[in-house]
């Protein structure tokens, strides 16, 4: 429980008084935003006002968590996540999708409509009588004759007024204790609505760990690609050159064997280059997703028409989208019996959308060894989705969508 309310009752009083001072102007602000937004929505001017209304609970929640420090030694933490990208648009999108934002809005509405009038009523009921008794000498001096205290007792002498003031001084600290009990119950509501849920804390931890895993996975992929490119591939190139030079001066019988070894080294080198390209194609790192998709289409066993207009994205986004497209093209070549395929890629409204479509026989099932199920899991790490539409008889369409921002 909040023991500070018993030790510092005046902090409870300050908490309730500041709540009244905040609630009254908050009520006016919410009414202005709500009415203006509803009236101006037909001309689109009201939409930003309604968005501001929806987000108005965020500063109220932040202020309330700070006010709770008056009476709570362990105030609730901020439940909001840090946006993945800078900018007002990314911040707004994230806040509008968080449950904490709507709980804070609900609390702001409660504070404006119910809580501060209730606080004011309790303050008036608890402090009104002691305040009137304490002010008895001043009231008597102002009236110059007799006065009625709290409309209950008539006094006409200063000794009586002094007795009332003493009674008020004794009664005030006695009434502060039940006021502290009310404040303790009152604090439970903002704690309930403004504190982060356990699921939100776990979600934030999962989101952060997931981002670290994706970054680590991509870093390891790049390290393997770099080691193969700078190590094994260079040695194979040197070996192939030495074998080629040795053939020039070798006798015929040995030259034939060196030629076979030279051809084998060239084949291994080609396979290694394909492996390196599969781990992380250089065109993806150098020129971006659009050119990498065009390169994958050129390598496809089925003719592919490519229509993409894409900016650069973060490396995990580009890598996940590229390998999803490449796996879809591999499935087209292996299973679809298609004569042609099409790739369409666009970016808009904060989302990367790519479609791979073919004119094949259809009937594809992602869960039956197509490789798309694993790619769907990889896209899910980025909050992306992979949808396969493949009725019997075709066509097959693979849609991928990733929420992201251009880099």
| Contacts for 104 with CB less than 8 Å, ≥ 6 apart | 57, 58, 60, 61, 193, 194
Round to whole Å and give the CA distance between 15 and 21: 10
Place of tokens 């080294």: 265
Whole-number percent of the chain with pLDDT over 70: 73
Q: Spell out the residues 6+ positions from residue 353 whose beta carbon is closer than 8 angstroms to its own.
A: 345, 346, 347, 399, 400, 401
Q: With a cut of 90, say whether residue 59 has pLDDT above it.
A: yes
Q: pLDDT grade, residue 146 (50/70/90)?
A: low
**Residues 303 and 342 sit within 8 Å (Cβ to Cβ):** no
Question: When comparing pLDDT for 267 and 3, which is higher?
Answer: 267
- How high is the mean pLDDT of the chain? 79
345/317 Cα distance (integer angstroms): 14
Using the 8-state DSSP alphabet, how is residue 68 labeled? Answer: G
**Rounded Cα gap, residues 302 and 293, in angstroms:** 14
What is the value of pTM for the model shown? 0.51
Q: Is the CB of residue 351 less than 8 Å from the CB of residue 401?
A: yes
pLDDT at res. 4: 43
Give the model's confidence band at 134: pLDDT under 50 very low, under 70 low, under 90 confident, else very high. low
pLDDT tens column, 5-53: 444 577 778 888 898 999 999 999 999 998 998 888 887 778 889 999 9
Q: How confident is the model at residue 3 (pLDDT cuts 50, 70, 90)?
A: very low
**3-state secondary structure at position 234:** helix
Residue with more model confidence, 125 or 54: 54
User: Given pLDDT bands bounded at 50, 70 and 90, which one contains residue 72?
Assistant: confident
Distance, CA of 298 to CA of 363 (rounded, Å): 25
What would the DSSP string read from start to end of 13-27? Answer: HHHHHHHHHHHHHHH
Check residue 197 and give its pLDDT. Answer: 67
Closest among 96, 95, 107 to 26, alpha carbons compared: 107
At 359, phi and psi to the nearest 5?
-110, 35
């Amino acid at each position: 429980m909040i023991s500070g309310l018993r030790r510092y009752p005046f902090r409870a009083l300050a908490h309730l008084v500041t709540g009244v001072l905040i609630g009254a102007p908050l009520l006016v602000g919410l009414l202005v935003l709500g009415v203006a937004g509803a009236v101006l929505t037909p001309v689109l001017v009201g939409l930003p006002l309604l968005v501001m209304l929806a987000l108005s609970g965020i500063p109220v929640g932040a202020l309330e968590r700070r006010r709770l420090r008056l009476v709570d030694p362990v105030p609730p933490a901020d439940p909001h996540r840090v946006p993945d990208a800078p900018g007002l648009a990314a911040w707004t999108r994230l806040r509008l999708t968080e449950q904490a934002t709507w709980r804070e809005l609900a609390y702001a509405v409660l504070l404006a409509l119910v809580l501060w009038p209730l606080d004011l009523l309790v303050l008036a009921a608890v402090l009104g009588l002691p305040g009137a008794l304490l002010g008895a000498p001043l009231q008597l001096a102002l009236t110059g004759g007799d006065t009625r205290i709290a409309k209950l007792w008539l006094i006409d002498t200063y000794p009586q007024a002094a007795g009332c003031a003493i009674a008020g001084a004794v009664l005030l600290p006695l009434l502060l204790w039940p006021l502290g009990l009310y404040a303790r119950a009152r604090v439970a509501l903002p704690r309930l609505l403004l504190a982060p849920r356990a699921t939100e804390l776990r979600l934030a931890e999962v989101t952060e760990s997931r981002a670290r895993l994706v970054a680590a996975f991509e870093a390891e992929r790049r390290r393997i690609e770099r080691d193969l490119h700078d190590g094994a591939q260079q040695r194979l190139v040197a070996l192939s050159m030495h074998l080629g030079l040795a053939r020039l001066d070798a006798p015929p019988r040995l030259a034939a064997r060196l030629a076979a070894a030279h051809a084998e080294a060239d084949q291994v080198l080609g396979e290694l280059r394909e492996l390196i390209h599969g781990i992380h194609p250089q065109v993806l790192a150098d020129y971006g997703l659009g050119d990498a998709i065009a390169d994958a289409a050129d390598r496809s066993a089925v003719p592919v028409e490519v229509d993409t207009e894409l900016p650069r994205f973060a490396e995990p986004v580009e890598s996940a989208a590229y390998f999803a497209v490449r796996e879809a093209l591999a499935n087209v070549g292996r299973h679809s019996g298609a004569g042609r395929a099409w790739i369409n890629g666009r970016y808009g409204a904060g989302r990367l959308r790519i479609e791979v479509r073919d004119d094949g026989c259809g009937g594809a099932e992602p869960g039956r060894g197509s490789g798309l199920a694993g790619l769907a899991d990889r896209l899910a790490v980025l909050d992306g989705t992979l949808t396969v539409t493949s009725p019997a008889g075709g066509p097959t369409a693979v849609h991928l969508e990733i929420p992201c921002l251009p880099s």
